[in-house]
Amino acid sequence: MTFNYDLLVIGAGSSGIAAAKQAAKYGAKVAITESQELGGVCVNQGCISKKLMVYASDFADLANDAADYGWQIRVEQFDWQRFRSVRDQEVERLRQVQEKVLTQAGVDIVRSHATFIDPHTLDMGDRKLTADKILLAVGGKPLKPKLPGIEHTITSREIFNLPNIPQRLAIIGSGYIGVEFASIFCSLGVEVTLMDKEDSILKGFDDDLRNHVRSGLIKRGIQSFGNTTAERIEKTAEGIQLTLEGDRAGSLTVDTVLCAVGRVPNLEGLNLENAGVEVEGKAIAVDQYSRTSQPHIFAVGDCTNRLPLTPVARAEGRAFADTAFGNHPQPLDYTHVPSAVFARPEAATVGLSEAQAQQQHGAENIRCYRAEFHSLYRSVNRCPDPSLIKLVIHQASKQVLGVHIICEHAAEIIQGIAVTVKKGVTKQELDDMIGVHPTSAEEFFTSL
């Protein structure tokens, strides 16, 4: 059978673009289809847009700190409309960069939603396309729980385009998305309430890190309600009223409610059953080489049940192309993927939490080293929040199984540490290292 393309990629986000470029390098004839904007969630409603908001929100704290460093700076009102304009210009620039890169690689860009007709044929609306191999890279979308009045809430998709900054914001869900937006809007002067059905924030992270970040958020004025759920939401003359149950039962009235309870694969409208692609739970089932139940159809990124992180999605896309077109099968190692929470305080982690290490190796075989310290920057303004470094160590081998840090630039610091953890660094090797002074990172070699 003759196909229109060697590879058709559905979804032009981080994983799809990475796969399309890599496959084209191997000489494959490639098309990529996208019904929305190029760049996916990361560029348009995620990582990039959110990090720019983090930077914008930091200026309020920096202006307050400036007086301790001898500067007299008058803080004026934040211009949300001006920021949105600048942010949107940068996002559009990145979209154009993505389009240029794909075009230069020889990848055809198809602006259409794709729907399976059969395992090799897709309906693009105005035409049909066939491909020898197909890659599903459709990403995920925010999840909303089923409760009365949920239509009065927004998600992380809409929060970037609010017409105005709210005075009062409630956030349902305290994973990294909820925590990051709580931190951002608190710095912008918003009264923020963060709630979760769990007892603390950032489920899945190390407990010391979770508690330390929560403490920092509360000291900044954020209300953090654990073991608390919204049972009903309604619009009133005073605003949006939430009826809460749990530890903080009662009512709460705000201007805006952000629903940040998680994300699900974006599989709606693909008609996967026409292609014979199996779904496990709500995600596409894949093997270690990203192959689905159909040997010529693959899936990468957030539409699968693996780590929903942009760098992981990119790596999966490239690995797929290496496997399918480069004759270089390359399964990924997911055991030492670093991650960060861009809140204030900022947190980063790699490897196992203390609880995970104890579960895998036995509590008696695990020892943790924990140190709090004040960064030089914070020592001048007597910030009450100390930074934190924690190492999770295997007793017998002395190997570092996990690293958890909270401090300024924690995400940048974890990059280098992650390499050493992946290579099997021991506690003694860290002790023998000489750090750069004065820095926060040197605490790894001097305080533990």
Which tokens is 173 given? 């869900």
Relative orientation angle of helices 14-25 and 80-104, to the nearest 10 degrees: 20
In CATH terms, are 5-142+264-324 and 150-261 the same topology?
yes
What's the pLDDT at 382?
67
Are 186 and 314 contacting, i.e. CB atoms less than 8 angstroms apart?
A: no
Query: 5-142+264-324 maps to which CATH number?
Result: 3.50.50.60
Under CATH, which architecture does the 345-446 domain have? 2-Layer Sandwich (3.30)
Among residues 415, 412, 411, 403, which one has the least CA distance to residue 445? Answer: 403
Q: Are 230 and 260 in contact (CB under 8 A)?
A: no
Tokens 């760049």: give the residue. 39
Cβ contacts of 48-51, under 8 Å, gap ≥ 24: 48/90, 48/91, 48/94, 49/87, 49/91, 49/160, 50/156, 50/160, 50/180, 50/181, 50/184, 50/342, 51/342
pLDDT of residue 330: 82
> Domain residues of the chain, as ranges?
5-142+264-324, 150-261, 345-446
pLDDT of residue 384: 63
Closest to 289 measured CA to CA, from 253, 346, 327: 327
Mapped to the 3 state alphabet, what secondary structure does 386-443 carry? CEEEEEEEECCCCEEEEEEEECCCHHHHHHHHHHHHHCCCEHHHHHCCCCCCCCCCCH
Q: What is the pLDDT of residue 105?
A: 97
- Yes or no: say if 330 and 315 are a contact pair by the CB < 8 Å rule: no
Please tell me the distance from the alpha carbon of residue 173 to that of residue 195, in angstroms, as a whole number.
Answer: 6
Are residues 436 and 364 in contact, defined by beta-carbon separation less than 8 angstroms?
A: no
pLDDT tens track of the chain, all 448 residues?
Answer: 799 999 999 999 999 999 999 999 999 999 999 999 999 999 999 999 999 999 999 999 899 889 999 998 887 889 999 999 999 999 999 999 999 999 999 999 999 999 999 999 999 998 999 999 999 999 999 999 999 999 999 999 999 999 999 999 999 999 999 999 999 999 999 999 999 999 999 999 999 999 999 999 999 999 999 999 999 999 999 999 999 999 999 999 999 999 999 999 999 999 999 999 999 999 999 999 999 999 999 999 999 999 999 999 999 999 999 999 999 998 999 999 999 999 999 999 999 999 999 999 999 999 999 999 989 998 887 676 789 999 999 999 999 999 999 999 999 999 999 999 999 999 999 999 999 999 999 999 999 9
CA-to-CA distance for 427 and 115, rounded, in angstroms? 53
Q: Cα separation of 303 and 41, whole Å?
A: 12
Q: What is the pLDDT of residue 378?
A: 86
Query: Phi, psi at residue 258, to the nearest 5°?
Result: -100, 125
Is residue 437 among the annotated active site residues? yes
If you compute the radius of gyration of the chain from its CA atoms, what whole number of angstroms results? 24
CATH class of 150-261: alpha beta
User: Per the confidence metrics, is the pTM higher than 0.75?
Assistant: yes
Q: Look at residue 140 and give its three-state secondary structure.
A: strand
Q: Give the 3-state secondary structure percentages of the chain, helix then strand then coil, rounded to 5.
A: 35, 25, 40
415: how many CB neighbours lie within 10 A of its CB?
12
H/E element, 32: strand 30-33
pLDDT for res 165: 96
